[in-house]
Structure 1
Amino acid sequence: MTQLSRRRFLAAATATVATTIVPGLATADTPDWSPDHIVNVGDEDAGLRRYQPYLDIRRDDQQSLIGIYGWYADSDTYDTRAYYYWAKYAKQDSLADQIPLVGPLFAKDSHFGDHEPVIVFTDAETGAVEEVVYSGYHHFGVQLAADQMTLVEDEADQPTHPSLEVATPHHHYRHQRDGTRGVRASSIAGAEFGSFLEKQSAWEKNGVFGASHEPAVFDPWEARDQGTWWAEDSWDYRFARIRLVLNWRDESHDDLIQE
């Protein structure tokens, strides 16, 4: 049996066992929006909690956080399982909002509703974290291998939680090298911890991904390879690129995939 055939067999077996023994753990019939190489998806709570990020997040951002919503995917092309999380905020403010009178005129990055992604890629057999991808600036991604990423260990027998700082006011992430400063995303008071699979349809109807490169939204491996969640013909992408060229960034920031 070739390596690829073995992966296909394991993925199919995983889907069958999961749906037969533990209803709700995974779905054998992948959603219509998932690419062909994804053979199994799920939103089992224990798995999502095992790889959830630890967030160093300010109190005002905690109050704006509506919830963290995750899912996972197995592929017959890649030998990793991807745990894919979206943090949803009530709004995103702009640094320009602080300028009296004229600030709102320049606050093009201020808007209601904000969604920030984190993806944890794990070894499909051992469960060990292999790499982490997250929005490092206005939906441009950062990619860090496990040996570069601060991973927090709690109930699991190995470090599984990426340690991230939520940047204010835009809510993208920075690598937080001090793993003691964050809290489990699921423990943030007033914020929901749930399933992306349950939210996907409503979010799409509400236009959440209207300016997005949809393959990156629904395919974690594509998001990593693309390096951005924006559609490149969108104004959001162009505006973010201008900000990058002008270096309108946090004083401390992580290197982006597209840099």
Structure 2
Amino acid sequence: MAGPENDSTSLRIDTSRPHPARMYDWFLGGKDNYPVDEAMGRQMLAVEPGVPVMAKVNRAFMHRATSWLAGQGIRQFLDIGTGIPTEPNLHQVAQRTAPTTRVVYCDHDPIVLAHAAALLKGTPEGAVDYVQADARDVDAILEQAGRTLDFTQPVGLSLIALLHFVSDEDGAYALVDRLVSVLAPGSYLTISHLTADFHPEEARKVDEMYKANALTLAPRTRERFAAFFEGLDIVEPGIVAGEAWHPELGAPVPGQDDIVSAGYVAVARKG
């Protein structure tokens, strides 16, 4: 499928302040970031040296969850908050199992749009498309994604490391409810989300850094994270730290003292 046009208006990238997607890229060893992103990234490392490992744990969870969903027969995915492409991407993982899988990526960051061509390299049998939209503009996302996805059939909705950048006041729960409401029975919701439960002092300092740079950060407790899945059936091993999500084992792997990630993850099915 043809990707979005890279016009000069849509590609205005603000390099005057750090951006979470570009910092995430830096933590993963990518090159699509700027000095301002590296500077804040290094400040975060001074507080919590394990941040790069946390980023990799989150990425690995996305890979496992996508592979598991493909194994359950999911052949359509909507990934909102895509971030800067890092291979393997979600569509590559899913299309390994089923080449006919259809995937729509969505992000609002112009630097992601600049790399949309890399996101769109899928199998000839499947389909991959990209939507340039704010995560809170659910109607626009659904309208454009509907050109590639059939919402009368099950969809894997992926919200990886997105919702902790959307405050309650900005409608985090409402946007999830709206998205889930249009999904067909048999669809799945996958979320990874920052929490302060595991490393409270470090999380407090990182939160202060974000506020100092006028960036939104909304880490949530396990209870508040669970609220995103209201009315859905959470699959085993339930709500766990990222490295503990191994449905093939049916139970969390590490103990509480062994957790290195900074977030909860879960996958839930719509009945």
TM range (shorter): under 0.3
Q: TM-score, normalised by structure 1?
A: 0.25
Q: TM-score, normalised by structure 2?
A: 0.24
